[in-house]
């Protein structure tokens, strides 16, 4: 449905007057592929149950693998059943019940075509999975790799707890999938930035959400652990080159929590135009559209879109620094000590709490000044760390 700014005003009224997402104006455009649709009887499935599977041709960056996609049931942030998808790369030469890695790719997106299950097959530089060389290293070691669409069916960017739940239920689904041969495999998880956020939440949630999984280690880097502090640093009061990330997170959280965050009613005309252009965007376009803008500029009455106490509580609930749960799996964590994109102090605070609780944490401070180069520097050490966990070597502790 094409919308003008004037038309959006009518849509806002309709959304406020009717049920959540009454005309889907806040949601991303649906994919035409029926594989992604949730069945009408999704409530009869349990978390991690397989709904449907299919084989795919191998993504162009990968060789000597068999590729599958699995649709499975999981639960959204408000307890409702939803369908999610994970893409599975199975090495042709692997041992039965060999290592299983759930890799949470960076997805800075409000559009469903940006998810890994779509982007793995694209040559668009805006969507390319840049970690492919590192994943091939793991595949050559005989590791089976699952890559979940951890933003879920609404591309709920910023809903970090949801990403953790989808990650864990995706692992369950893969272990239920007999062609993968990983029913009794040791499991590890890895990811950076937004993918690290899903990984870190999965590790923290696992003891209560998925105690059935044998997770031997989690490696994550560059994780935004305090979304409130991060949003305040990305153009809260003044224009910022990366404001698009904050605005995209507001879109994603409003999709996941439509009653608590009725984002559309807070938007100024500038914000409405930005919303219309960004509601199906991937990383490069999100950054381009948001560059040089601020919360004051896109919202009615200044920063109201970020100041509402209910909305702030939702953002806090998706900030790992405030989640009291403690992981039981060993953790490898890396980041640049001078990362200007994420609040490093929140990482230190969270890991300090884990260390005091007895979690075996190994920290790696990358010799890099910025966010994205740190991702590359830390990936191989992270995989080596997880390889040692798969081999049963006791985890080091650098707390």
Residue 173, H or E segment: helix 160-176
Q: Which residue, 245, 165, 204, 161, is CA-closest to 329?
A: 204
Examine the domain organization and report whether 177 and 86 are in the same domain.
yes
Decide if 96 is inside a domain: yes
Examine the domain organization and report whether 113 and 258 are in the same domain.
no
pLDDT band for position 85 (cuts 50, 70, 90): very high
Q: What is the pTM of this model?
A: 0.92
Decide if 77 is inside a domain: yes
Q: What pLDDT is stored for residue 299 in this prediction?
A: 87
Task: Please state the three-class secondary structure of 267-295 as a single string.
Answer: ECHHHHHHHHHHCCCCHHHHHHHHCCECH
Q: Which residue, 25, 81, 79, is CA-closest to 51?
A: 81
Q: In this predicted model, what pLDDT tens digit does every residue of 103-150 receive, in sequence order?
A: 999 999 999 999 999 999 987 766 666 677 789 999 999 999 999 999
Q: Could you tell me the strand order of the sheet in which 331-335 lies?
A: 50-56, 65-75, 81-91, 144-148, 100-104, 187-192, 215-221, 331-335, 361-365
Examine the domain organization and report whether 179 and 292 are in the same domain.
no
Could you say which of 245, 272, 305 is where a domain stops? 305
Handedness of CA 69, 151, 47, 144 (dihedral sign): positive
Decide if 208 is inside a domain: yes
Examine the domain organization and report whether 265 and 142 are in the same domain.
no
The answer to whether 292 and 241 are in contact (CB under 8 A) is yes
Residue 44, φ and ψ in degrees, nearest 5:
-80, -15
Decide if 75 is inside a domain: yes
Supply the CATH number for residue 145's domain. Answer: 3.40.50.1820
Could you say which of 282, 305, 328 is where a domain stops? 305
Examine the domain organization and report whether 18 and 119 are in the same domain.
no
Decide if 398 is inside a domain: no
Percent of the chain scored above 70 by pLDDT? Answer: 90
The parent domain of residue 377 ranges over 41-226+317-390
List the single range of 132-136, 189-193, 338-342 with lowest mean pLDDT: 132-136
Decide if 103 is inside a domain: yes
Name the domain count of the chain: 2
């Amino acid at each position: 449905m094409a919308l003008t700014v004037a038309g959006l005003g009518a849509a806002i009224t309709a959304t406020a007057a009717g049920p959540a997402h009454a005309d889907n104006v806040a949601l991303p455009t649906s994919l035409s592929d029926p594989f992604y649709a949730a069945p009408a009887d999704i409530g009869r499935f349990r978390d991690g149950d397989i709904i449907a599977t299919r084989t795919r041709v191998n993504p162009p960056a990968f060789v000597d693998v068999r590729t599958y996609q699995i649709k499975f049931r999981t639960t959204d942030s408000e307890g409702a059943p939803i369908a999610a998808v994970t893409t599975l790369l199975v090495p042709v030469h692997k041992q039965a019940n060999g290592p299983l890695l759930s890799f949470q790719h960076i997805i800075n997106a409000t559009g469903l075509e940006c998810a890994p299950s779509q982007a793995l097959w694209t040559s668009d530089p805006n969507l390319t999975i840049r970690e492919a060389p590192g994943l091939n290293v793991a595949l050559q070691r005989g590791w089976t790799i699952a890559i979940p669409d951890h933003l879920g069916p609404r591309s709920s960017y910023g809903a970090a707890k949801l990403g953790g739940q989808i990650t864990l239920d995706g692992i369950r689904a893969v272990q239920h999938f007999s062609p993968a041969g990983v029913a009794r495999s040791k499991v590890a998880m890895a990811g950076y930035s937004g993918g690290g956020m899903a990984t870190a939440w999965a590790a923290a949630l696992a003891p209560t959400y998925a105690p059935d999984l044998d997770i031997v280690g989690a490696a994550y880097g560059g994780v935004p652990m305090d979304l409130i502090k991060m949003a305040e640093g990305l153009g809260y009061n003044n224009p910022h080159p990366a404001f698009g990330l904050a605005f995209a997170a507001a879109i994603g959280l409003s999709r996941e929590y439509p009653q608590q965050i009725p984002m559309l009613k807070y938007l100024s005309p500038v914000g409405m135009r930005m919303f219309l252009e960004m509601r199906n965007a991937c990383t490069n376009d999100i950054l381009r559209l948001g560059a040089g803008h601020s919360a004051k500029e896109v919202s009615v009455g200044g920063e109201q879109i970020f100041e509402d106490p209910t909305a702030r509580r939702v953002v806090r609930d998706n900030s790992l620094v405030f989640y009291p749960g403690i992981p039981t799996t060993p953790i490898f964590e890396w980041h640049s000590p001078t990362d200007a994109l994420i609040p490093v102090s929140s990482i230190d605070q969270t890991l300090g709490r884990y260390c005091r609780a007895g979690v075996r944490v190994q920290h790696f401070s990358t010799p890099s000044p910025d966010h994205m180069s740190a991702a590359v520097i830390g990936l191989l050490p992270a995989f080596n760390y997880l390889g040692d966990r798969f081999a049963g070597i006791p985890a080091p502790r650098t707390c």
